[in-house]
Structure 1
Amino acid sequence: MVTTIALTGLATAASVVALTLTAHGTAPMPLEWGTGPLTVAALPRITYVAHRGGAHEVPENSMSGLMTAYRRGTAQVLDFDTRLLRDGTPVVFHDETLNRTTYLGGEVRGLDAREWQGVRLRPRDVLPGSWRSERPPTVAEVLDRFGGRIVLMLEAKDPRSLDRLAGLIRARGLTRSVFVNSNDPGVARRAHRLGLLTQVWRSARQMRTDRPERWRSYVDLLDVDHRARDADLTRAVNSGIARVWAHTVVTDTQRDRVLALGCTGVITDAPGRLARIAALEAWQAREARQDAQRDARRALQRGARPWRA
C-alpha cells in the first residue's frame, strides 16, 4: 500500500540535459567502444566510484544525478542500488520504502511498473545547485543509457532479483562492464555462477572476523569499510582478491589512509571534490618533478654537480 505524503511542484524533466542516446539495440556504437563496450580492463590503477551517483553532490540514484557524474568525468564507475517491484521489474532505489527520498510513502515492492511511473524523487535542499523532481529510473533504463560507456556497479538489495538482473546484463553484452554487489558472499557465489562480475561489501564490524581469502575464487571486487581497523584493511588487501576498494569515503584524509594501506579504489559520495583534489595533487607533484629536472639540467650545463635529495 502506498500513502501520499506530499506532491507539489513536480516536474518530469531532468535537471541536466541528457546525452542523445537511443534505446539499446538502436544506438550507433560510440567511438570509445572500439570493437566492444568499455570493460573493467580499462579502469585506471586508482579508481573513483560515484556512490549512488555522488550523493553529496547530486540526487541519489537518479538519472539526472548519474548523468551529471558521467558528464563531469570525475569518476570511472557509477554506482546505484536496485530493488524489485511487485511484478518483478528491477528499479533503481536504495531503501525498502519510498518515504525518505520521494513524495510518497509505502514499500517499493508494493508497486508495479505502471504505478512506478507516478513516483517522483524529492531532491534534498542541501544539495548544491538546482534540481527538479523526476521519476526514479528502472535498471533497464540505466543499462541502456550508460552500459558500455562507463563501468557500472549495482547493488542487488533483493537477492531474488539476481536472475532478472543477470538477464538484463547479459542481453546487453555487459557481463565485463557491470559489477553486481551484495553484502552476502553467498549471493556473490551465485552471481559468479551466472557469469557476472561479483562484488562483496563488508562493514567494519564484519571485517573483524572475515577471512576474505576464502572468497577469492568467486569475488572480483572486495568493497571494504574505510572505518575498519588498519589490520583488517591490510588483511583484505592481502586476500588475493584482485580489487579492494573502500567505501564510503568523503574526505581527502580518509582517501589517503585507505590508499596508503593498499586499496586501489575509492567509493565516494563526493567524487567531484575528491577527484579535483587528487588531480591537483598529481599536477603539483608533476610540476615539482619537472622543476627538479630543469634545475638538474641547468646545473649540468653550468658544469656543477647536480644536487640530489
Structure 2
Amino acid sequence: MIYPPTVVAMVTWITLTGLASAASVLSLTLTGPTNPLEWGAGPLTVDSLPRVTYVAHRGGAREVPENSMSGLMAAYRRGTAQVLDLDTQMLGDGTLVVLHDPTLNRTTFLGGAVRGMNVREWQGVRLRPRASLPGSWRSERPPTVAEVLDRFGGRIVLMLEAKDPRSLGRLAGLIRARGLARSVFVNSNDPEVARRAHRLGLLAQLWRSAEQLRRDRPEHWRSYVDLLDVDHRARDADLLRAVRSGIPRVWAHTVLTPAERDRALALGCDGIITDAPGRLARHPARAAQRGAMPLRA
C-alpha cells in the first residue's frame, strides 16, 4: 500500500513524538508495511556505528529520568549518543518491561517486586524522576520492551540488559519478530546467558566489573560475544587484555568524565557507555593523543 506524502509525514511525526491524541491517524499504519517508514530498505544496524561509539546509559541517567520513554526520546533527539541503553525485567505474566531494579521502590512511587505484577497492574506504575535532574520531567509509566522496540527499533541501535535470564527467549522473540537481530545488543553479566543469546541469533553483549576482569580471560568468549562491556575502573593491564581478546567491540562503562573517557580510549576501547552523553559531547575527546575521531555533536 502506498500512502500520500502528507500521511507519511504525519505518521512519522506521530511515531517520533508519541502523541496519544493522534492515535486515530497512527492507526493508518496498521494495515500497511510492518517496517517503520524511516527504515527505507532496512533497519539501522550495528554496521552503521562509528569507529568510536557513544552509548546513553539508561538513556543518560545524569541527564534524563532513567529507563523512561521521555528520557530515551530526549537522548535520541539530542544525538549525542549512537546507542540507547536500557534495562529489562519480566512481569509475572511474561510481559517484558523497562526497569533496572527487581523492585519498584527506588525509581517509582510504588513498592514491591516487579515479578509479582501483571501487565494490567503495570499500567498504574509511575516513575519518580530524581529532583537533581536538569530540566522539568513529568511522572510517567515505565514503558514495555515492545513499546521501546516499536518506537526506536531500526532508527537507532539499542542495548537491552536482560536482568532476568528467564526472559531471554521472550526477548529474542520480540527482537526477531521486528527484524532487529542486527540492531539490538542483548546484555548480561553472565557468560552463559551471552552464549544462549548468541545461539538464539542475537548480538551478545557481556559486561564485567573491575573485580571480575582481574580473573577473566576474555579470549575464551570471542566465539560468541559480539561486545565486551568493561568497567572503566579496571587496571590498565586488564583493559588491555580485553581489547586484545579478539572480541569485535570493547566498550567501557559507566563513564562520567572526559578524563575517564580519554583513558579508556587511549587503552584501545572503541566505545563509551555514559550517564552523561551531553557532558562528554561538550568536551571533545583528545583525538590527537588516541588517533580517533572526535565525538559528533
Same fold (TM over 0.5): yes
Pick the aligned partner of 1:113 from 96, 112, 119.
119
Identity percentage over the alignment?
Answer: 78
Deviations 1:68-109 (A, max 9, x none): 000001100000000000100000000011000000010110
* SS of aligned partner of 1:189: helix
Q: Which residue of 2 aligns with 1:172?
A: 178
Q: Which residue of 2 aligns with 1:66?
A: 72
Q: Which residue of 1 aligns with 2:139?
A: 133
Pick the aligned partner of 1:150 from 151, 156, 159.
156
C-alpha contact (below 8 Å) 1:77/1:152 kept by paired residues: yes
Tell me the distance in 2 between the aligned counterparts of 1:120 and 1:201.
Answer: 29
C-alpha contact (below 8 Å) 2:61/2:275 kept by paired residues: yes
C-alpha contact (below 8 Å) 1:224/1:233 kept by paired residues: yes
Tell me the distance in 1 between the aligned counterparts of 2:111 and 2:74.
Answer: 27
Tell me the distance in 2 between the aligned counterparts of 1:93 and 1:125.
Answer: 19
Q: Which runs of 5 or more residues in structure 1 are unaligned?
A: 1-15, 284-309
The aligned length equals 266
Matches within 5 A, 1:233-248: 233-248=239-254
Pick the aligned partner of 2:281 from 252, 267, 275.
275
Pick the aligned partner of 1:232 from 238, 241, 247.
238
> Shift of residue 277 of structure 1?
1.6
**Residue 163, structure 1, aligned to residue 169, structure 2:** yes
Matches within 5 A, 1:6-45: 17-18=17-18, 22=26, 26=32, 29-31=36-38, 33-45=39-51
Tell me the distance in 2 between the aligned counterparts of 1:34 and 1:42.
Answer: 14
Tell me the distance in 2 between the aligned counterparts of 1:18 and 1:86.
Answer: 27
Deviations 1:23-43 (A, max 9, x none): 886577444x34100000000
The runs of at least 4 consecutive aligned structure 1 residues that moved more than 3 Å come to 16-31
Greater CA radius of gyration, 1 or 2?
1
* SS of aligned partner of 1:278: coil
Instruction: Sort the Cα spacing of 1:28 and 1:190 in 2 relative to 1 into closer, same or farther, 3 A.
Output: closer
Tell me the distance in 1 between the aligned counterparts of 2:185 and 2:35.
Answer: 24
Pick the aligned partner of 2:269 from 263, 269, 273.
263
> Shift of residue 282 of structure 1?
6.7
Q: Which residue of 1 aligns with 2:4?
A: none
Q: 1:49 is aligned with what amino acid?
A: V
Tell me the distance in 1 between the aligned counterparts of 2:56 and 2:284.
Answer: 15
Deviations 1:220-267 (A, max 9, x none): 000000000000000000000000000000000000000000000000
* SS of aligned partner of 2:128: coil
Q: 1:140 is aligned with what amino acid?
A: A
C-alpha contact (below 8 Å) 2:36/2:154 kept by paired residues: no
Tell me the distance in 1 between the aligned counterparts of 2:81 and 2:235.
Answer: 26
Tell me the distance in 1 between the aligned counterparts of 2:262 and 2:114.
Answer: 37
**Residue 202, structure 1, aligned to residue 208, structure 2:** yes
C-alpha contact (below 8 Å) 2:54/2:271 kept by paired residues: yes
C-alpha contact (below 8 Å) 1:86/1:111 kept by paired residues: yes
Q: Which runs of 5 or more residues in structure 2 are unaligned?
A: 1-15, 289-297
Pick the aligned partner of 1:187 from 190, 193, 203.
193
Q: Which residue of 1 aligns with 2:103?
A: 97
Tell me the distance in 1 between the aligned counterparts of 2:282 and 2:241.
Answer: 30
Q: 1:234 is aligned with what amino acid?
A: L
What do you get for the CA RMSD once the two structures are aligned?
Answer: 2.0
Tell me the distance in 1 between the aligned counterparts of 2:37 and 2:150.
Answer: 13
> Shift of residue 155 of structure 1?
0.2
Tell me the distance in 2 between the aligned counterparts of 1:254 and 1:88.
Answer: 39
Tell me the distance in 1 between the aligned counterparts of 2:282 and 2:75.
Answer: 13
Deviations 1:151-196 (A, max 9, x none): 0000000000000000000000000000000000100000000000
**Residue 49, structure 1, aligned to residue 55, structure 2:** yes
* SS of aligned partner of 1:195: coil
Q: TM-score, normalised by structure 1?
A: 0.82
> Shift of residue 272 of structure 1?
1.0
Tell me the distance in 2 between the aligned counterparts of 1:84 and 1:202.
Answer: 22
